[in-house]
Structure 1
């Protein structure tokens, strides 16, 4: 079930970013037709429900965070798109990858080969990339619009905040953000293609505001290791061990 109140948030996103809803729906329909089977959600629930979950974003602080992430091999790691490359390069397997397919496709496929669950998002600007989803072993399609068929809607706008909405949806006990900086600088793993920086920053600002809205609704304990987010408790990377023991 989609989070209560999401439809109004989505309508504001469409208006603020001047998105064509018909293209959003078309993209979701295409992804639905590409996915071979409706992957059950039990795999996600097993990885998330009542567990401490690390949400790893591609902000500039990701680099200094990697040695700390390595210490938590048995904890669920949900990563945003380009972070996949950083983790695999450092021999860390992501459990769940949330992507709209603008990250490094080589590493997204490597994550799939490592049995990561791939959460592929359909939106109006990535229709030409959706066929890549066919090559993923465990794949769930998502939309910001109404869910149907094999397409789900857990909430969220950017890859990073969609990770948090996903963890919340499946009832994580603790959600800890790492590399989710929401600042004025873009991490090197955030985009592999040329991008509009001002638009990227606008999207990050929107993503942060959605997390602050989610915090008012969530039953999970929420933490962040980087920039302050209303509703999330700040914690230092060196204190992670104490928090999750």
Structure 2
């Protein structure tokens, strides 16, 4: 599969972040080898299709939003890895965590042991953390 214009965007990303294409490829292959061959895509679809969702990042307003998030327990919460710690500390369960494994590892592991779907992406500077996906119950 080729996405029109992706190669030039990818080259820009490599340059901007100082990533190595070779290391990116190695990390991707390592992640692929550790992930289950059957992915919980249906679970994600059931969580988000035709439903309202909250997308939660670790921005400066997150602490002031915790009380609001607690009022909406039944709305799907898609959480960036940097916000996972705040969610866990406040007894808010992420439904989906999107991570490159650069967030708080203890919180990511805690979320990963539940039914939370962990969407992990590999890149050239996280290869040493890729093994953590083995601890996640539902991982893509």
Give the TM-score, by structure 1 length: 0.54
**Number of aligned residue pairs:** 140
Larger RCO, structures 1/2 (Cα 8 Å, 6+ apart): 2
Deviation at 1:3, TM superposition (A): 6.2
When residues 3 and 59 of structure 1 are mapped into structure 2, their CA distance, relative to the original with a 3 A threshold, is: farther
Give the distance between the partners of 1:61 and 1:2, measured in 2 at CA: 37
Q: Greater share of helix residues, 1 or 2?
A: 2
Q: 1:27 to 1:110 in 2, by over 3 A?
A: same
Residue 234 of structure 1 aligns with which residue? Answer: none
- CA distance in structure 2 between the partners assigned to 1:47 and 1:14 by the alignment: 32
Aligned residue in 2 for 1:139: 139
Distance (whole Å) between structure 1 residues aligned to residue 79 and residue 2 of structure 2: 21
SS in 2 for 1:86: helix
Asked if 1:83 corresponds to 2:83, the answer is yes
Aligned-partner Cα distance in 2 for 1:123–1:22 = 10
What does 1:1-245 align with in structure 2 at a 5 Å threshold? 5-140=5-140
Change in CA separation of 1:136 and 1:45 when aligned onto 2, cut-off 3 Å: same
Matched residue SS, 2:30: helix
Unaligned runs of 5+ in 2: none
Distance in 1, matches of 2:51 and 2:38, equals 25
Find the aligned partners of 2:19 and 2:82 in 1 and give their Cα distance.
23
Q: In 2 relative to 1, CA 16–109 (structure 1 residues): closer, same or farther, beyond 3 Å?
A: closer
Q: CA RMSD in A?
A: 1.7
The CA distance in 2 between the partners of 1:2 and 1:40, in whole Å, is 24
C-alpha distance 132-13 of structure 1, shift in aligned 2 (>3 A): same
* CA separation of 1:34 and 1:78: change in aligned 2, threshold 3 A: same
CA distance in 2, matches of 1:93, 1:16: 33
Q: State the shift of 1:107 in Å.
A: 1.3
Residue 54 of structure 2 aligns to a residue whose secondary structure is strand
SS at match of 2:93: coil
- In structure 1, how many angstroms separate the alpha carbons of the residues matched to 2:112 and 2:32? 19
- Give the CA deviation at 1:16: 2.7
Cα offset, 1:39, TM superposition: 0.8
CA distance in 1, matches of 2:5, 2:54: 25
TM-score (norm 2): 0.91
